[in-house]
């Protein structure tokens, strides 16, 4: 089933950055229609799907709708992930990240100031260790504005849109600041 991007996404100007073999996605830049500012919100998830310029996935579409509806100060989002391997089932055991995709992640972190973290509480899934990977990049996020979707749960980690309180549909949450140094 193909999931279309949210109707307020400027589809003609989406930029998807994949490796040459298209097994890794380093970023997905998604501008919104009818937003005149030039403010960017970077979102850091777990690992990407094959979502691109032509279609989304359920996580991405939720995030497009959530940011457009609740955070009008942002004119675009940049979807990033802790790992770059396209593997929604998390069955891969190797080649989870490449040097060029990691370098692009760090570049976007260095160039931007606002980040919505959505990688969830799942510590490990197959070969993916999300908390360990987050520890690898958090030094780059030291002086950044970090946020999470505020489900009113005082959880240690930022909820993923698949969280049982959100279930890819509940847009009625705000965001709250997120402190990473206690992790």
Write the pLDDT tens digit of every residue in 41-69.
Answer: 999 999 999 999 999 999 999 999 999 99
> What integer pLDDT is reported at residue 152 of this predicted model?
84
- Kind of pairing between the strands at 40-45 and 76-81: parallel
Confidence band (pLDDT; 50, 70, 90) for 124? confident
Give the pair of three-digit tokens for residue 23. Answer: 């097994």
CA distance 12 to 53: 8
Element (H, E) at 101: helix 99-111
Confirm if 5 and 55 have CB atoms less than 8 A apart.
yes
Per-residue pLDDT of 105-122, as tens digits, reads: 999 999 999 999 999 888
- Which has the minimum average pLDDT: 22-26, 47-51, 93-97, 179-183? 179-183
Q: How confident is the model at residue 20 (pLDDT cuts 50, 70, 90)?
A: very high
Q: Could you report the per-residue pLDDT of 67-96, keeping only the tens digit for each?
A: 999 999 999 999 999 999 999 899 999 999
Percentage of residues in the chain having pLDDT higher than 90: 81
- Here the tokens at position 165 are 């309180």
């Amino acid at each position: 089933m193909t999931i279309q991007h949210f109707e307020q996404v400027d589809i003609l100007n989406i930029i998807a950055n994949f490796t040459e073999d298209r097994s890794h996605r380093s970023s997905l830049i998604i501008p919104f229609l009818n937003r005149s500012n030039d403010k960017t919100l970077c979102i850091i998830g777990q690992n990407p799907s094959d979502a691109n310029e032509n279609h989304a996935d359920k996580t991405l579409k939720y995030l497009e709708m959530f940011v457009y509806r609740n955070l009008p100060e942002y004119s675009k989002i940049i979807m990033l992930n802790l790992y770059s391997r396209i593997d929604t089932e998390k069955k891969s055991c190797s080649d989870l990240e490449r040097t060029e995709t990691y370098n692009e992640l760090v570049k976007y972190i260095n160039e931007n100031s606002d980040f919505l973290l959505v990688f969830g509480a799942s510590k490990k899934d197959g070969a993916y260790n999300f908390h360990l990977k987050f520890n690898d990049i958090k030094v780059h996020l030291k002086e950044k504005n970090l946020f999470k979707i505020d489900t009113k749960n005082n959880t240690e980690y930022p909820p993923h849109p698949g969280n049982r309180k959100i279930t890819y549909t509940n847009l009625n949450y705000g965001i709250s600041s997120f402190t990473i140094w206690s992790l």
